[in-house]
Structure 1
Amino acid sequence: MASNSDARALSLLAVLACVLGMVHAASGVIALLSALGVGALVLGGSQLVLGLLLVPAGVGIGYRKSRGRWLGIVCFAGIAIVQVLPLLSGSELAVPLAGVLLSVGSSLYLLLAGEAFESGDGDSRVLTEDTDPHEFVR
């Protein structure tokens, strides 16, 4: 079972995913409206799509759904790739390093936090013969 600090970290990550998703969706819309070339159009479209997918991923992470976890892993990794693409293409020399590290770190945290998303099969609160205080053996 996940500890209290793990639950807080996942709640914070869910809020971060929703906020980052909305920011990237807005940034993608602005980039699409002001796109002058094909490269800017592709980057704006990918930011918009990843931002729109990251919002439901944040909701899924908040509800501890496995689907939200995997969608969050893919979206955070995709955002890191999209932020590095202008550097790889040679069109920009400056890359938002904090955003790349935040996205990669969030994706790795979700990848390693699998036990927090497991279903209630291993719940330690399940009553058995040994743990039920109302079970009277005669």
Structure 2
Amino acid sequence: MIRSLMPFFQRLAGTDWFMRVGPRLMPKLDRTLHRLTRGKLVSSGLLPTLVLTSTGARSGLPRTTPLACLAEADGALLVVGSNFGLDHHPAWTANLIKTPEAAVSFRGRDFGVTAALLSGDERAAVWPALIEHWPVYDRYTEKSGRQLRVFRLIPAR
């Protein structure tokens, strides 16, 4: 049932209205649902979502951010700094660039990760899978006028 609504939600997520409202509404909603369900439920229900806890680049304080993700076969997770198509990169991307060690809550599990910013061929290799996963990333790229940052979150062993 929910999967059949995917085209509707993709169209909605690509609208100018949602790109204005989404950054204020969705993270708060996802953080609340994540806390109440111990990581098993998020607002979209369509995309796998994790909660990233990174270290603030300027403040040094823990910062939590719910993010759509794409799981890779080896257990790594891909995340995209779309910022809902805004013209600047989201703060969590600067946090990971400065301090790549972070924590993730995903599917009811909490674990440490090391973030790697992908560029060049490595980024190009994963981009088609990310677009297949959430086609709206292309709209966000077009709207923002910037290349969206892509990170691979590698679980700590």
Which of the two has greater helix per residue? Answer: 1
Larger radius of gyration: 1
Q: Same fold, TM exceeding 0.5?
A: no
Q: Using structure 1 for the length normalisation, give the TM-score.
A: 0.30
Q: Using structure 2 for the length normalisation, give the TM-score.
A: 0.27
